[in-house]
Amino acid sequence: MSTSEPRLEVPWVEKYRPSKIAEVVNNEDAKKKYVAWINAWLRGKPQKKAALLYGPPGSGKTSIVHATAREFNWELIELNASDVRSREALRQRVSGALDTGSVFGYQGKIILLDEVDGISTREDAGGLQAILELIEKTRWPIVLTANDPWDPKLRTLRDACELIEFKKIGKRDVVKVLESICQKEKIECPKEVLSAIADNSKGDLRAAINDLQSIALGKKTLSVADLQVLGDRAEQENMFEIVRTVLTAKSPEQALSVTRLPSLDYEMLLQWLSENIPYQYEQSLQAIADAYNALSWADIMLSRMKREQQWSLLSYALELMTAGVSSSRERPPFKFVKYSFPEKIRILARQKEKFEEYRKVVREASSRLHVSTSKFRTEVQPYLQVILEEDEEEGKMILRSLGIPENKINVVFKTEEKAHS
């Protein structure tokens, strides 16, 4: 291993993002269709105001939007699916920007809504409708990305967008990109190592670049032996095994390996780790303290990343919640632990179920009175509460006339405060 100082720097996927559309690897047909759509915007006559780029992870969907912003000197307004889960969230983050001109010398704007197939129509009520409203009134190009655009919930979005398919990047092109990065980083790397990284990435260029950076950290020369830290890329792995990998890792590289799982939900991982650290490290208070310290910094990074749209902070958050959590100064010996589902998520789910039940009952009652649900809660419900307390039978009769059966009375009059807290 080289004794040179490790290069703690910007993630290479960000450092070597294409600066022009033509530099995006492969997918020539997709690029041609995308450029035609952009040119229609430049002429002021787009047939569709939004484009939906779909395809497997690491195929260039996000990179081509970043390249567009750089090439045309446009301001990039980028949000992930987790930022557009409600109409109000979208209005606060994007709608204001649509009504104003660009600042800081930009020639225009482009809006990127990443991973829209991650929005749930049931859990993220209003999010999809808000996106459609945004598309309808926008004065700037809007790009959506998705891995699977054929989900029935996305039908209305598909109808409103120019559909552009990005296909998995071939191994030869992945190797070429890795070779170019090695040259720029002045790293000697045998062709068979780059070939193995490309095979392991399964066409995901972003994953391949991350893998290369992982094994090249602090080194000027790479060999086949360095590939051992990668392991095989799992298509799917349940959260129990992911948590076990992090908390029992024998090296930082092993803990970091879970960040290369294509389906990793890093916000869920943070909750699982927070719940189970004490069980795995119960023999060492120092290990528990160190692990929670790293996890708290990861949480800070994630919050700042979303608040300031600094997506480059994600890599640091992932390192903290994996390698950081597992790198305690006093790691206790291994023991098998049956991990627990995060109680916080369980409680929130129960509260959400109660709130949804409450909303359903209130909607029925307010519709019979021909008032809004808000007016029902503020002007009708308090009086019903008093009647119910003074004369229970009379109160129940009134509630039945409003479509509130007796078995739902507790839902309305005993859980409202909890539901709104």
Q: Is 61 annotated as a binding residue?
A: yes
Q: Is 60 annotated as a binding residue?
A: yes
Report the distance separating Cα 272 and Cα 318, nearest Å: 14
Closest Cα partner for 402 from 415, 388, 414? 388
Element holding 165 (H helix, E strand): strand 161-165
Closest Cα partner for 290 from 313, 273, 265? 273
β partners of residue 221: 188
- 3-state class of 146 per DSSP? strand
Q: Is 156 annotated as a binding residue?
A: no
- Only one residue has tokens 């480059």, namely 312
Residue 32 burial (CB < 10 Å; 0-12/13-18/19+)?
exposed
Summary count for the chain: helices (H), strands (E): 22, 5
Report the distance separating Cα 102 and Cα 115, nearest Å: 25
Q: How many residues does the chain have?
A: 421
Q: Is 59 annotated as a binding residue?
A: yes
The DSSP secondary structure of 42-106, one letter per residue, reads HTT--SSSEEEEE-STTSSHHHHHHHHHHHHTEEEEEEEGGG-SSHHHHIIIIIHHHTS---TT-
For residues 97, 12, 326 and 331, what is the CA-based torsion angle, rounded to 10 degrees? -140
Report the distance separating Cα 73 and Cα 76, nearest Å: 9
8 Å CB contact between 174 and 198: yes
Residue ranges at the known binding site for ATP: 55-62
Residue ranges at the known binding site: 55-62
